[in-house]
């Protein structure tokens, strides 16, 4: 069952939430409001500590981070991914990618190739300590494969936007992982 919530307006996650998808978007536009909603951040942090499955992509990765740096302003966020994100003034990545899973994780089995795209101006200031690489990405231009995304326990985070509607096996794997963890609270 899918239930929606707003990290801008809600003060807690829906009851009995076993999994959380933090999709893409533009959190830098709402960084101050997101940062001030400590109630929802505490709810997500508490659920994460209890084993909730989280999938975060691009803007979701940014929300999962220690916070967003926009110019001379710092906006603390969830702090689950232990690195700050810094906004840049130029596009860092744009295009379609093939993302090969590097290890078994909630999204699937090591070696599976997922398809998605990247579009972002931000970057992590440092690699998140204690987190494993999630993907080996290849772009359509044939550039050298590169590591992208991070995984730790039940949390996956990446700048790659997956085309989940075209990847039913990935979505099924994630939902199965959620239902196995459903009684975490």
What is the set of active-site residues? 58
For 120, other C-beta atoms within 10 Å of its C-beta total 21
Collapsed DSSP state (helix, strand, coil) of residue 171: helix
Long-range contacts of 68-73 (CB under 8 A, 24+ apart): 68/27, 68/28, 68/31, 68/122, 69/125, 70/28, 70/31, 73/31, 73/32
Cβ(109)–Cβ(172) below 8 Å = no
Here the tokens at position 152 are 């730790």
Angle at the Cα of 155 from the Cα atoms of 22 and 16, rounded to 5 degrees = 70
| Cβ–Cβ < 8 Å for 161, 58 | yes
| Distance separating alpha carbons of residues 111 and 171, to the nearest angstrom | 16
CB neighbour list of residue 6: distance below 8 Å, 6 or more residues apart: none
């Amino acid at each position: 069952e899918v239930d929606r919530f707003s990290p801008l307006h809600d003060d807690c996650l829906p009851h009995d939430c076993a999994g959380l998808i933090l999709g893409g978007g533009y959190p830098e536009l709402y960084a101050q409001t997101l940062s001030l909603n400590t109630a929802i951040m505490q709810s997500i942090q508490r659920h994460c500590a209890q084993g909730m499955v989280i999938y975060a992509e691009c803007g979701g990765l940014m929300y999962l981070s220690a916070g967003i740096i926009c110019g001379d302003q710092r906006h603390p966020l969830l702090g689950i991914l232990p690195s700050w994100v810094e906004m840049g003034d130029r596009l860092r990545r744009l295009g379609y990618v093939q993302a090969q899973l590097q290890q078994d994780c909630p999204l699937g089995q090591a070696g599976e190739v997922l398809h998605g795209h990247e579009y972002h101006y931000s970057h992590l200031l440092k690699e998140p300590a204690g987190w494993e690489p999630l993907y080996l990405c290849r772009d359509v231009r044939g550039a050298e494969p590169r590591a992208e995304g991070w995984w730790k326990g039940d949390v996956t985070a990446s700048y790659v936007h997956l085309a989940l509607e075209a990847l039913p096996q990935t979505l099924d794997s994630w939902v199965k992982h959620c239902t196995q963890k459903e009684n975490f609270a």
